[in-house]
Each structure stands twice: as C-alpha cells, then as structure tokens.
Structure 1
Amino acid sequence: MGALTVLIAIVLIFLLASSLRVPVAFGLILACLPFVFLHQRLSLEVFVQRMYAGLDSFVLLAVPFFILAATIMIASGVTDRLIDLARMLVGWIRGGLGIVNVGTSIGFSGMSGSSTADVAGTGSVLIPQMVKRGYPAGFAVGITAASAVISTVIPPSIQLIVWGSLTNTSIGALFLGGIVPGLMIGVGLMVAAYVVARRNGYPREKSFNLRAAAVAFVRALPPLGIVVIVLGGFRLGWVTATEAALLAVAYALFLALVVYRTVSLRQLGGVFVSASKMTSLALFALAAASVLAYVLTLYQVPQLFRGMVDVVPGWALLGVIVLILFVIGLFMDALPAMAIMIPVLGPAVVAAGIDPVHYGIIAVMTLALGLITPPVGLCLLVASSIGKISVVQAIRPLMPFFLVLLIVIALCAAFPQIVLFLPELLG
C-alpha cells in the first residue's frame, strides 16, 4: 500500500470519527487500527507498546503535576486574588475588566501552564462579572479564550515541556524563550481590548487607588511564589521540570490547606479526581498520536511531506511550517499534533539551520491558535459554555484578539532575537 493511499485512508477515518463526535484520542486510534491487520510489523501488542513508549519519559511526569498544581490553585480561590490585583492596577482604564482578564491570565499562566485551566479558573469568575457590568457576552468570551493562549507560551507551559521532551530541546531554554513572546501577546491583547472598549463605549472600573493596589499586591504575593519556584529553580539549576512541578504541587497544597484553609482534606479527593481527568485527556491523546506517528513512519508517509518542504527556500521554511501547523491545529489538539509532526518537519528544520528554541516557540504558539479556532477550539468552547453563548456568536468578537496572536507569531518568526534574547542572555 502506497504512502499517499495510507495518508488519505487515515485522514478519512479520522474525519469520519470526528464528525461522529468521537474524542480525538479515540479517533486517532481508530484511524490506525486497520493497519494492525495490513502490515506484518504491526500487531495489537506493538500497538499497546507504542502507546506506552509515547508516555515513557521522566520529563512528561511534569505534566500531571503542573495540572494538579493549577487545579489546587483554582480550588483554593487564588484566582480571586489575582483578579483583585489586576483590577486595582488596570481596571480604571476604559474596558478595564477586559484588560484585567488578560492581566489575570498572565499571572495565572505563570502558575498553571495549562490554557484549559486558565479558562476554567479565570473565565468562571470574570465572564459572568463582565456580562453583569454591561460587557457583551461575545467580547467577554473572546478575550477570555484568547488570553488563555498565553499559558502555552509563558513558563511553566505544558506544551513547552512536551515539545522539549519530544525534540530533546532544553526545557529551560524554551521557558526563557517563551517569556518575551508571552508578554507581547499579553500587551497586544490589552491594547486590542482597550481599542474595542473605547470604540464601543464599554465601562471602566473605579479610579486608581495606590493603597488598595498595594494591599491587593500583598495578598497576591503568596500565589505568585510558584513563579519564583519554577523559574528560579530552573535558572539556578536546582531542579528539573518534573521536580519543579512537584514543588509547585507541594506549595499549592501548603497555600490551600495551611495558609488560606479554603480546601479541606475531604475536598482534596475531588481536586485530585478533577486533575486526573484533565491529565488523562492530554496524555491519552499524546499516546494515541505516538501510535499514529509510528504507523506513518512504517508506510514512509513523512517522505511525502519532506519532499514538499525540501523544495522551500530556507528563508521561507518557517512561514510554510507555520501554515502547516496552523491547519493541523484546526483539527487536532497541540500535544498529538506535536507527536505526529515533529518527525516529519524536524529534518528540514535542522537542514535549514533554524535554532531549535526559536522553532519550538513558533511551533507551540502556532498550534495554540487551534485552542480558539473551530472545529476543535477547546478554550473557545469552554469560554462559550461559561458565557452561555454559542461558539458561532463568539467568533466575530474574537477576531481582533486572534489578529494580535497572528501579528506576534509573525514578528517572532521574522525576528528570532525576540525569542532568543533571554536564553542567550541568561545562558
């Protein structure tokens, strides 16, 4: 069976499964299953072994622990403290709650590493408040979903951890490389929120009060300690990604059980269950994608893409990769998309001499666009459900913020030093 025939068959089976609302992970497995009976090197035993091999990495242990830390933080009410701080600092600006939304996402992303957790944590509080204060539900949903993308870039991003694990790229360098692009996204979204709010006459919060801002800052300091633990531990070389995740969990438990006492031991079981469900969604999809990558390799499907990519000039390669990853991100979550496309695009990237940290940040940001674009658009879907509107109703208000993300990706692709400045400066 030829490589192109195999590729078409896999795509058709996956699209059929998706149209029947089969979860992505199961759709990937179904797309691979027929080839167990068609290829002599494939069997059900190999199938299971490849799924296990896709998760058999010490670095990937960081993923469930960062998700657990984020879940504990949400349950402990830390989100409210971050929102209060952001409201005191920027809420007085026209459309202040939209800017507060972005500021809260920047703070929360430094603790969670998960865009889904960001939407669930900040969106459940801010979207109803914004609607209550006179903001259109579409605007509230759009800014919440778009700002959650920051969590995929600012450390401790789960996507960056997985990318580093799959490509053997330094996770510390990726974390440092994501800081400036993540802050650029945040500032760009704030500017866009202000422009939209001023044009439409959205309300502003109370005027700035230095004393209230100082009090809010002090109250938010303990949660922000997680950022110091993760980045400080990495920078000083004291901890690995997995060890930093364990420290984040321990610190989050300390805040929830001892400092704030907002979570009881009895409630802790429900927190663990919630984190386990979120973890299983991410890692099971990654395991299924590992099987698909193996099947594609057996049938030499990557050679089809490599032939297309090899004819692209080096200066244009990154733009072509962005386009490819954007299209794939429309239909697939970032983690399985990474497992499938890294072996396909990797050789061309190496041959073109593109810096691996630069390539990783651009790829992760591009795949993150799939979080806010249908038909998958998980962050947009969650935010829409909180705002009680359909995804279609949220698309138009989302467009200015989507444009900001595209501009930041284009700037980072055109000027590599935006990404590489901090990794090179801090070694």
Structure 2
Amino acid sequence: MLLVALAFVVLILIGMPVAFAIGLSGLVFFFQNPDLPATIPVQITVSQTQNFTLLAIPLFIIAGNFLNVSGITEQLLKLASVLTGRLRGGLAQVSLALSVLMGGVSGSAIADAAMQSRMLGADMVKRGMSKGFAAGILSFGALLTPIVPPGLGMIIYGTIGQVSIGRMFAAGIVPALLLWLALGIAVAITARRRGYPPERTRRVGLAEAGRALRGGIWALLFPVFLLLGLRMGVFTPSEIGAFAVLYAIAIGVVVHRKLTRASFFEGLSHSLADVGAVMFLIALSAIFSYGIVYEQVPDAISGAILGFSESLERVTVLIVLFVLIAGFVIDSTVLIIMLTPIFLPLIDQLGGEPVHFGIVFIIAATIGNFTPPVGAAMYAVCSILRTSVGDYTRESVPFFIAVALVTLALVFVPSLVLFLPNALFNP
C-alpha cells in the first residue's frame, strides 16, 4: 500500500482531480496483485453506488439548492442581523449567526464561505475591518455549517461506518453552538482591541424582530422536522431526503413565491454538478478502500496506535492531530471517506462512542478547508476578497485557537456531544 499512497500524493501534487487521483492510485494496488480478478475494480465501483442509504446525499443537495434559489438566504441574513447586529464585531458576528442558520440549507463549508464572502466581505472591509480578518472569520465561521443537520459529512460518515444518521444529526447541534460561542468571543476580543463597531446602534423593535423571525422560520424548522421525522420513525434517512426536497419546493413556491420555472432549473443545474462530483468521488473511493481492507491496513494502524497508548482520549487526540495534518493537503470529504474505515474500528475497540467520535472527526477533517496550503474554502474567500494567504493566515490564528479549544473540550467531555442524541434517540 506504500506505492498506492505514493501514487495518490503524486497525482494530487500534479493537480489531478481528487476523484481520479483516488481511483487511479487504487488501481495501482491491483497492478501489484495480478492474481486478483481484473473485473473487481469495475464491480466495486458500481456496487458502491447501489447503497440505498447514499440516496440521501443527492436528495439533500437538491433540497439545499432549491432553498438557496428560493430567496431564503436573504431572509436568514436579516434574522442573523437581528440576532447579533449589536454585538462587537458587527458583520463578523452576523456572519457567524448566518453560518449556523445556513447549516440546514447549505450543509457545505466551502459553499457557505464563498457565498458569505460575496454577500458580506466587501461591506466588512468598508466598515474598517482588515481584509485578512474578514477572510479569516468568513472562512472559519463556515465550519459551523456542516455540523448543523443535515451536513453531508454526517451522512457520508454514518453510511460508511454504519452509524445512526439521526443520532449524528442531533449530535452536531450542541458542538455547533459551542463553536459559535468560541468564535464569537474571539471576534469580540479582536473588535474591542481594534475598535470595530457593532452593525446596529439601536435596539431591535418587536415588530422588526417578528418580521425577521417570520422570514427565517421555515429554514429554522427544517432541521427540526428532519430530527422529528427520524425520531418518530416516520422516515428513514433516505426517505427524509425526499421529504427535504418536497419541503424546499413547497417553501419556494407557496411561502416565498420565488421558486419560478427558471430558478427551479437553476437549482437542478447546480445540483447536477454537486451530486456528480460527490457521488463520483464516493464511487471511485471503493477501489482505494478495497486495497486498504485487503491488506488489513486498519489492523496495522490500530496496532501501531495501541502500542503508543490504549487511552481512548489520547488515541482520539492522536487521530485528530493526524486528520488535521492530512487536511492540509486532502479535502475533508475525501478524508471522511478514506479514514472512517480505518479509525472507527479502533475507536470501537477502545469502547468509544461512534457518534461522539464522528462529530470530532468531521470537525477535524473540515478544518483542513481553512488552512494552507490547499484549503479550498481559504482560497475561495481570499480570491473573492483579494487578500493574500499570508494576511489570512496571520489574522486567522485566534479563530484556529478557538476551534482547537472547543474540539479538545468535545474530546474529553463526550456528554457535550451525546447529550442531545441520547435524549432524542435510544443510546
């Protein structure tokens, strides 16, 4: 497998698309083992797409795109401004609130970071914030989006690891609120030191608050309906994806009345590109994963880690550090697909809770989107705001520290993650 890993790294470094890099490097394993039937790569690639649970992924992508083209983003921005506009840091605090509210709509950190940069980035700079600071908070704030249900990372992790997706959805809520609090404090401290003013100087009236809540209520209820549907057994994870699509269409047509024929096909067009990219990646990852299982790589890695420590907390911290380093060069979705079969059995062996590990793992994997040298969200935000990676990195240090402290708290206090899923679902 060493040659396979080397081939993957080389293909990534020369700029090959990640899905092809995974598939081609996986084929190297079969060239090394000519006794294996040549039909296996084709068979496992096709069979990977036949997993019924994975149907939730394209359905939630379609639902999110329909909600986006239905005008709900503007309503959520108004609500976010009402909630946090008077806090120190102004639009930076608003962006954090919007990331939490957008979790049920977008589910993608990269998409949220790029969207908010276009919506808020220029205005943040006009209000006196440095470009590096604006880019840093818009990027790291997007970390909140994929851990608010229905994050795609949760669905992929739950499907690969055979972990309850309903419990994963519920488990992401409290960590998202803690990350929001930590990042908000980091913004407030920087804003006080630099004199960044609040976005609003007057109190919000009841009438304005009511209008903002009415405009955003349907997006806020979206994850609630998902959790209730799963908790009451009304839907399976795949079926609730279909409900999400119908819900998004109903909101766009009946409530906001902005889902026209043109915007409907615009949403489908965006969904086609998103679904194709994600599902192609998942399908080709089966070739790579086959060699990992065949060579018993998970057992070898587990043995090496257990030789260092048998403490669940220490092992989890080691895994988080490994994922953070890997995230410097590999996309978060790829990390979840490739590393879940390796690390989840080890956590099970040590008596860990798969849902708890899943949330910590997804947070660690997603951080790579915001760090040099290849963070996709980082480059998207820096490109839109026309700031250098150096300025971005320097200004992002407080946000990285805030996220790191919350992640450590989640590792050592599992109840922060498991409280809500244990309350809603059977432990």
Q: Distance between the aligned counterparts of 1:64 and 1:57, measured in 2?
A: 12
- Which residue in 1 is equivalent to 2:321? 323
Letter in 1 for 2:151: S
Equivalence for 1:188? 182
CA distance in structure 1 between the aligned counterparts of 2:99 and 2:120, rounded to whole angstroms: 11
* Per-residue deviation, 1:398: 1.6
Task: Give the counterpart letter for 1:257 in structure 2.
Answer: V
1:210 to 202, 205, 218: 205
Question: CA 1:348–1:225 in 2, change beyond 3 Å: closer, same or farther?
Answer: closer
Cα distance, 1:222–1:338 mapped onto 2, change above 3 Å: closer
Judged with a 3 Å threshold, the aligned counterparts in structure 2 of structure 1 residues 306 and 373 are, in CA distance, closer, same or farther, namely same
Q: TM-score, normalised by structure 2?
A: 0.93
Distance 2:382 2:295 in 1: 40
2:33 matched residue in structure 1:
39
Q: Does 1:287 align with 2:287?
A: no
Displacement of 1:280: 2.0
Contact in 1 for aligned 2:99/2:141 (Cα 8 Å): yes
Residues 242 and 114 of structure 1, relative CA distance in 2, 3 Å threshold: farther
Superposition CA RMSD, Å: 1.9
Q: What corresponds to 2:362 in structure 1?
A: 364
The one-character-per-residue Cα deviations of 1:291-335 (angstroms, maximum 9, x if unpaired) are 111122223333431221221222421111212222222222233
Q: Matched residues in 1 for 2:248 and 2:284: separation?
A: 31
Give aligned-pair identity as a percent. Answer: 32
Which residue pairs with 1:378 in the alignment? 376
| Structure 1 unmatched runs, 5+ | 1-5
Query: Alpha-carbon deviations, 1:233-264, whole Å to 9, x = none?
Result: 12322112222222222122222233323232
Contact 1:362 1:409 in 2 (8 A): yes
Query: In 1, Cα distance between the equivalents of 2:35 and 2:46?
Result: 17
Which one-letter code corresponds to 2:349 in the other structure?
Answer: A
C-alpha separation between the residues in 2 aligned to 1:259 and 1:59?
Answer: 30
Q: State the partner residue of 1:255.
A: 251
**How many residues are aligned here?**
421
The answer as to whether partners of 2:83 and 2:97 remain within 8 angstroms in 1 is no
CA deviations over 1:370-394 (Å, ceiling 9, x no partner): 1211233122222222222243332
Alignment CA distance shift 1:228-1:186 (3 Å): same
1:115 maps to: 109
Deviation at 1:188, TM superposition (A): 1.0
Once the two structures are superposed, residues 88-135 of structure 1 have per-residue CA deviations (whole angstroms, 9 ceiling, x without a partner) of 221122212111000011011023322233223333211222223322
Q: Could you tell me whether the CA contact under 8 Å between 1:66 and 1:112 is conserved in 2?
A: no
What letter matches 2:327 in structure 1? G
1:5-404 map, 5 Å: 6-7=1-2, 9-42=3-36, 44-206=38-200, 207-211=202-206, 212-311=208-307, 312-315=309-312, 316-404=314-402
Amino acid in the other structure paired with 2:340: I
Partner-residue secondary structure (3-state), 1:296: helix
**In the TM superposition, what whole-angstrom CA distance separates every residue of 1:377-424 from its partner, at most 9, and x where no partner exists?**
122222222222243332122221111111111001011111111122
State the distance in 1 between where 2:164 and 2:301 align: 26
Match for residue 405 of structure 1? Answer: 403
Following superposition, the deviation at residue 186 of structure 1 comes to 0.9
Deviation at 1:225, TM superposition (A): 2.9
